[in-house]
Amino acid sequence: MTTLESAPAKLSNLLQETFKRSETYLSGISEQRVFPSAEHLKLLEHFNESLPERGSDALQVLSLLDTYGSPNTVASQGGRYFGFVTGGVTPAALAAKLLGTTWDQNNGARLGSPIAAKLEEVALEWLRQLFALPEGTTGALVTGATMANFVGLASARHALLKKQDWNVEEDGLFGSPEFRVIISEESHSTIFKALQMLGLGRNRVTKIPTDDQGRMCAKDLPMLDANTLICVQAGNVNTGSFDDIAEICAKAKVAGAWVHLDGAFGMWAGVSEKHQHLTAGLNQADSWAMDGHKWLNTPYDCGIAFVRDAKAHRAAFALSNAPYLQFGKTEAREPLEYTPEASRRARGIEVWAALKELGREGVSALIQRNCEQAQQFAEGFRKAGFEVPHQVVINQVMVGFGDDETTKQVIRAVQEEGVLWAGATVWKGRTYMRLSCSSHATTTEDVEQSLESIVRCARSIHD
Ligand SMILES: *Cc1c(COP(=O)(O)O)cnc(C)c1O
């Protein structure tokens, strides 16, 4: 039988080798194709083996991973990955994740890791201040905006049913009173997923139509009342546009409705003075969801939820009984009473590191630079005669190259060339290429080089 050897010298060698390979990977990132070539993808077949009976040396495991794995990564750590909404990783956040990985802390309970609990608290408080959310707002670090939406909506479900004397955590939804859920036709697919996971239903919603930029306007809302949950969006994934946040929040406040704001990436725009007007009134909402791994450029995975009503938040996620977890005896925050998970990785380490490294100014500069890059793309496309079918308000840009089939061909050609990566989307029934500028690593030159590649591919398809 193989035993795991962890002699200090051997471990030290392994860590150094890991570090060396990581360094080589990152230093070559801007020369690497942004999406693996067909040839590289074939290397993945090396992983097609049945469960090994006998173990392998750790160095050999690492070598296999690097040899066949590294060429098959998407180069989202470089400056020319514009797919989905994908942030890079700031240097301090990367370093913090590396050290944090060697710590391997369990962020579930305070006792599981004092440093993880501390940095999560500090990071959440800094974020609360950054977005000027009300004092007393509680937060949670989860896997992404999907789960952050889930946390916000679960807290809303608790509060809205409690008003009707129903304890949903104790008694479930069978036979419960009802409340109304209002979303927009442009709500993100993960809002629907959160609703489906909470027993609120994807279809049992009132869907509000949006304007030509994908915005939900306050004037299109039905009368709100205290028995309503309304989901607003900061940052449409196609156009980057914002719902009428201030006015909708004001109406909801008067009516006593609960406003949940999905601001996965768009909420960050509020940190830039130039874009602040887009998120005005956002702190009047009742719950908020955003991502760290998008625009803050923390590593995967990292979502952030905030809830104004701390009691509702805790009621939705508190544990009912576990004799070995003695909570509630001190004032201290127990992380797992605010999240769906119990054991979880310590994301606060990286959020703290990124915020400490960037400061408010650095976050603002990052947001602003990415927004300028989106403008640079849009101007380049328009100058070349291609269609940008929306106002470019923050970091998202769509472009069309003719009919849907031609646009699809151009997207394929660009992806095959490998200088950059951008995907396809459908907007108002038509196909477009969609680019998201969300990385600190993206430079003006990256955008120029990408524009050249896109225009070249488009011209070659047109000719
Ligand atoms: C990305 C995104 C989500 C989902 O975020 P994940 O981090 O992938 O879970 C939700 N809403 C909006 C608006 C998004 O852009």
pLDDT in tens, 67-118: 999 999 999 999 999 999 999 999 999 999 999 999 999 999 999 999 999 9
Nearest CA to ligand 1 atom 14: 264
Query: Do the bridges between strand 206-208 and strand 180-184 make them parallel or antiparallel, or are there none, so unpaired?
Result: parallel
Residue 233 pLDDT exceeds 50? yes
Closest CA to 312 of 141, 192, 151: 151
Q: What is the DSSP letter of 52?
A: P
Nearest CA to ligand 1 atom 2: 264
Angle between helices 189-197 and 145-162 (to 10 degrees): 50
Q: What number of other Cβ atoms are within 10 A of residue 142's Cβ?
A: 26
Residues flanking ligand 1, CB < 6 Å: 85, 144-146, 188, 190, 233, 235, 237, 262, 264-265, 291, 303
Tell me how far apart the alpha carbons of residues 250 and 252 are, in angstroms, rounded to a whole number: 5
Tell me how far apart the alpha carbons of residues 99 and 104 are, in angstroms, rounded to a whole number: 9
Q: How much distance in Å is there from the Cα of 50 to the middle of ligand 1?
A: 35
Residue 463: per-residue pLDDT: 78
Q: How much distance in Å is there from the Cα of 303 to the middle of ligand 1?
A: 9
Q: ∠ CA 140-270-425 to the nearest 5 degrees?
A: 85
Query: Can you tell me which atom of ligand 1 is nearest the CA of 263?
Result: 13
Q: How much distance in Å is there from the Cα of 231 to the middle of ligand 1?
A: 14
pLDDT digits (tens, 9 = 90+) for 27-77: 999 999 999 999 999 999 999 999 999 999 999 999 999 999 999 999 999
Q: Cα separations (Å) of 217 from 159, 184, 253?
A: 25, 10, 16
Q: ∠ CA 383-384-387 to the nearest 5 degrees?
A: 85
Residue 332: per-residue pLDDT: 86
Tell me how far apart the alpha carbons of residues 38 and 460 are, in angstroms, rounded to a whole number: 22
pLDDT digits (tens, 9 = 90+) for 117-144: 999 999 999 999 999 999 999 999 999 9
Mean pLDDT of the chain: 96
Nearest CA to ligand 1 atom 12: 264
Dihedral sign for Cα atoms in the order 23, 25, 28, 29 = negative
Residue 327: per-residue pLDDT: 56
| Comparison of pLDDT for 298 and 331, the residue scoring more | 298
pLDDT digits (tens, 9 = 90+) for 435-457: 999 999 999 999 999 999 999 99
**Confidence band (pLDDT; 50, 70, 90) for 274?**
very high
Q: How much distance in Å is there from the Cα of 421 to the middle of ligand 1?
A: 19
Query: Do the bridges between strand 303-307 and strand 258-262 make them parallel or antiparallel, or are there none, so unpaired?
Result: unpaired
Query: Do the bridges between strand 138-142 and strand 430-436 make them parallel or antiparallel, or are there none, so unpaired?
Result: unpaired
Which H/E stretch holds residue 452?
helix 444-462
**Confidence band (pLDDT; 50, 70, 90) for 329?**
low
Residue 1: per-residue pLDDT: 43
Residue 319: per-residue pLDDT: 87
Q: How much distance in Å is there from the Cα of 437 to the middle of ligand 1?
A: 15
Query: Can you tell me which atom of ligand 1 is nearest the CA of 301?
Result: 7
- For 106, counting Cβ atoms within 10 Å of its Cβ (0-12 exposed, 13-18 middle, 19+ buried), the class is middle
Residue 322 pLDDT exceeds 70? no
Q: Are 184 and 220 in contact (CB under 8 A)?
A: no
Q: Specify the 3-state DSSP secondary structure of 57.
A: coil
Tell me how far apart the alpha carbons of residues 365 and 128 are, in angstroms, rounded to a whole number: 19
Q: Specify the 3-state DSSP secondary structure of 426.
A: strand
Q: Are 233 and 389 in contact (CB under 8 A)?
A: no
Q: Pick from 188, 241, 295 the residue to mutate for probing ligand 1's pocket: most ligand atoms within 8 Å of its CB.
A: 188
Q: Tokens in use for 141?
A: 């670090």
What is the residue whose two structure tokens read 């680019």? 435
Residue 429: per-residue pLDDT: 97
- For 375, counting Cβ atoms within 10 Å of its Cβ (0-12 exposed, 13-18 middle, 19+ buried), the class is middle
Indicate the Cα dihedral angle 413, 419, 425, 428, nearest 10°.
Answer: -80
Q: How many helices (H) and strands (E) does the chain have?
A: 13, 10
Q: Tokens in use for 11?
A: 């471990």
What is the C-alpha R_g of the chain? 24
Q: Pick from 187, 262, 298, 347 the residue to mutate for probing ligand 1's pocket: most ligand atoms within 8 Å of its CB.
A: 262
Q: How much distance in Å is there from the Cα of 459 to the middle of ligand 1?
A: 33
> Any bridge partners for residue 425, and if so which?
432
Q: Are 352 and 127 in contact (CB under 8 A)?
A: no
Q: What number of other Cβ atoms are within 10 A of residue 124's Cβ?
A: 25
Residue 323 pLDDT exceeds 70? no
